[in-house]
Structure 1
């Protein structure tokens, strides 16, 4: 339990710091005109951010093997607090009092959940559940493509696509929880592994589409909600995730507090967009 919690916090730190490095890469080419977004991906800060994101995902994957879904996903959403603090120093972004209060809320919420959370149940789901998650991943990808292609000027487009992106990342977490082992034969034979790939790619593309709509805060806030609430409910209802005896209300309060803080900090969810 303690190691899993540490890995979840490491994932938040790594992912939050990655966003700032990606912002530095975007800043380096922000004034270079057409194609700047592509060139930004070859800047060394952006590559460092990509490496940190990868390490963060690995930490999240490992933490899911011993920590309930609701705690892991809340910690990942808390990476926005890390982004805000690191951005304040590296990007010289001034945080207002309400944003410092939101950082504190995220930290307090995660602390409450860490105290209240029980152990992950070890329920890896049956074959039907794994296939259902894969089907949901494919369905979300198709739905996301349809919404992006047919409703280009849809009202609240950023929030809708951001929420769908969050749902995709939530499916990644659920599918990762189902993986029985990290050996190549186990992964290749498991439908959940393919659900991780499909949901990860579609979630990333949906997030790009949401951010291109211009409303970064709406997109990031919707993504946070989609990424945290769905997996939390799924883990409690279908996988048996629980809290310590008598501490359910404390865990719920901590979850609400951390998500509220993350939503307040949503404008830091894609700092490179502001930098550009």
Structure 2
């Protein structure tokens, strides 16, 4: 059942990211701060995307109960490539052979991680580690205001990645004992807070940059940070003698999302040159007098 949760989460995340991108582009101006955020959360398409993200979050949360973070976050990373594919199918966006190749590489990487991973229950997070997670969460939330004052999407995408990494780390032990007792569990509240903060950071980033760029940066940060902490603190396991293949799989996932961002950047540059060339050809000389 955990693997079903994971597969469904990837689909929900991809659909949500696509809808949020459409909503953010038409509702929030590139220099937006609090006012832009207010417009953003009132856009119906963005709300649908947010609902898909919540669904994906819930399914990924359930998958983390027994699956290691490197597998869950690696699969979530692949949702960026799936988003590009959905954009081609549903919105008729251009999808190049390079993008399809990256999608194939990332799909292969997830299969590799599935083969080498070993399900396990998470270790409990001690008091000192909890204080550290809460401190980082507060710092990242506070940094959002400063990052939102710039026009770039990358700082906000990085902050969203850190927020979602904290969510993944805190959510792994919480998912193992779901029940009414979670209301008194500080880790559960940390999951909720970082989920909301991460969504807001991602929304602001999407208003400034493309879906692929924001998703690539965000997922790469989350994957590397959460996977590292999962091995160090949560007891994530891998098959005997197969650790090197985890590194290969994670590297392929990170490389895939970076490649997707690079491909889109080159496409935007090519389109800009094409538009400029057409404009030059359409210019008409009008003689004076």
TM-score above 0.5, yes or no: yes
1:251 shift after superposition? 1.7
Superposed, which structure 2 residues align to 1:74-89 within 5 Å?
74-89=74-89
Indicate the residue corresponding to 1:201 in structure 2. Answer: 196
Superposed, which structure 2 residues align to 1:247-262 within 5 Å?
247-262=242-257
Mapped partners of 2:7, 2:247: distance in 1:
19
Bigger mean CA deviation after superposition, 197-206 or 236-245: 197-206
Instruction: Say whether residues 1:148 and 2:143 are aligned partners.
Output: no
1:64–1:176 Cα contact (<8 Å) kept: yes
Indicate the residue corresponding to 2:92 in structure 1. Answer: 92
1:131–1:191 Cα contact (<8 Å) kept: no
Mapped partners of 2:199, 2:55: distance in 1:
17
1:161 shift after superposition? 2.3
1:168–1:203 Cα contact (<8 Å) kept: yes
Provide the secondary structure at the position in 2 that maps to 1:114: helix
1:148–1:209 Cα contact (<8 Å) kept: no
Provide the secondary structure at the position in 1 that maps to 2:94: coil
Mapped partners of 1:263, 1:216: distance in 2:
13
- Could you report, residue by residue, the CA deviation over 1:104-159 in whole angstroms, capped at 9, with x for unpaired residues? 011000000000011234313223323332222122212333x337xx348xx432
Indicate the residue corresponding to 2:39 in structure 1. Answer: 38
Indicate the residue corresponding to 1:61 in structure 2. Answer: 61
1:162–1:220 Cα contact (<8 Å) kept: yes
2:60–2:72 Cα contact (<8 Å) kept: yes
Mapped partners of 1:216, 1:50: distance in 2:
14
Query: 1:163 pairs with 136, 158, 168, which one?
Result: 158
Mapped partners of 1:80, 1:28: distance in 2:
21
Unaligned runs of 5+ in 1: 270-276
Please, what is the CA RMSD of the aligned residues? 3.0
Query: 1:233 pairs with 228, 236, 239, which one?
Result: 228
Bigger mean CA deviation after superposition, 125-134 or 224-233: 125-134
Q: How many residues align?
A: 257
Indicate the residue corresponding to 2:268 in structure 1. Answer: none
Q: 1:218 to 1:240 in 2, by over 3 A?
A: same
Mapped partners of 1:219, 1:162: distance in 2:
5
Normalised to the residue count of structure 1, the TM-score between the two structures is: 0.81
Indicate the residue corresponding to 1:273 in structure 2. Answer: none
Bigger mean CA deviation after superposition, 48-57 or 61-70: 48-57
Larger RCO of the pair (alpha carbons < 8 Å, separation 6+): 1
Indicate the residue corresponding to 2:284 in structure 1. Answer: none
Bigger mean CA deviation after superposition, 175-184 or 92-101: 175-184
1:15–1:56 Cα contact (<8 Å) kept: yes
Mapped partners of 2:219, 2:99: distance in 1:
16
Normalised to the residue count of structure 2, the TM-score between the two structures is: 0.78
Q: Which protein is bigger by CA-based radius of gyration?
A: 2
Unaligned runs of 5+ in 2: 29-34, 265-289
1:138–1:199 Cα contact (<8 Å) kept: no
Mapped partners of 1:267, 1:65: distance in 2:
34
